[in-house]
Structure 1
């Protein structure tokens, strides 16, 4: 009875039972041995020590004048086209809480797992994903109750071997040391305005975040799609409190969040006429005058008109055209144009007065 062995990788291995199958031995060695030879597997052994087998020869083998012996070597390695290996495990510094770690190697499977432990504490991972080439995998661990300081680390493979790796250090989760600050462009009495652009700083964090995410909110409710550091304020949030929540991300740490102070959204600036409105047409009873409302910025969403005769409003004259009547004979005509913009203040401009209306 002979044994074969495989030296250990510099790690400690968990027990793995292995047996040499008698039927396989019969198929391989039977033709070379006397009739009546029997094969039996010995008691299970633990990997990486190889399995062994007993070859029982008949007491009086036919035609045999000398002793016969057989040697069977069974290597306790996992068969397959690619060598199973475990490489790196990281990161080396983890925050208390739910964390993600990465394992590299070859022929990794979703049943492989990471174990972090001390004499009095142990946490084991669940698999998040395995790369298509099976050379890296991401695993999740819950270190909420982990003691701060150093933990031993090992990777336990799907075939039962445990590879010890460099330990990890557990530190406190991310926390904010300064809340994000929101600056408003333009600033109107310290308030954000419809149509204005607001910008958030990330704030100051300890330890520093590697990346930051932003979520703008109106009266505490998340605004769909408002996830950049800058935000152009729409009319839909007029009168509401605008805040931004910043989330700091760092590998191996819980994400931290902080929310800015609220700013009440005010109406935006009124449109201004960059080209004044004018009247065209013959200023005579029975003739029709037409209003050109001019050019405005920012662009209004609607306009309103009121015609005047010698400064007195003409009842019902609120359209873009007006037909002069005898009531306006001898008067001078003007029009007030009001430009409205949703969420903003309204702008006003006047036409120049016409000459006196002829009869």
Structure 2
């Protein structure tokens, strides 16, 4: 109860000290140096209007003039095959509190190109987050409005794996291989992704043999993967992929770490992933929210429309989960977590003004 009261108080202060409910601007920093583009959501004084992006319509001020918010950046790492648009409601919560939000497009593991997900992408992602911070810091629209000594980072699913890496966790492709050798049937989709599924039929044996053959061929490297960015000062991992981490490396996260879990996640089974992280890091980390009836896609908002097949099984809601009713509170808690760890309570940031 005391923690809930504290977070409510912080939420009020964060919103009060932010960008006076400015519109949410939308801009893109072009791809450079082999990285993908960086999508940026930010407080703007321009009027918003419905804007189509892929299968989504967002109420944003496209290319609107940025205004000063609270001076802090939060980087969002999307899930495997993901896009910026499915985190637009979280971005709006953060922008309403004065944050600028940057979303890098992860190489070969995004909605335009999903050709190389899994450990190969996980190896690249943390440095892509660091370069996204660099890109925002060089951009003349946003650089004057930000201090980059304390940056927040949020990741969901494969992005949650990125978040745990940046929190001090270490992992290896061989750790992924060992997990799949030991738990292939119970955590099958985590090991094979969207390639196939077990049906209980006569070809399951072939599917399991093929999966292990590929995994053992590609992911035997036992070299530890680590990445540190001293600018990142608070991290949230939502339904993270985590079975390949050395849990001892997450026992004392290097920065404040919050987790969001979904107990009906049948894609990244909690007992192999998020629950193991919590068991390792509590009380030095924090459970921001647990969704007892939420599935793997519960944090995506707005949700992708019309999903069927395996991807529908992964991202659509269980029958008794109310995404529209639950997610606003989860986003508020996430925003309050970043406010608590990135913003001083006093003095408050200056009022919203146009960028010089």
TM class, shorter-length: under 0.3
| TM-score, structure 2 normalization | 0.19
Q: Which has the higher contact order (CA 8 A, sep 6+)?
A: 2
Q: Max radius of gyration: which structure?
A: 1
Q: Identify, as 1 or 2, the structure richer in strand.
A: 1
| TM-score, structure 1 normalization | 0.19
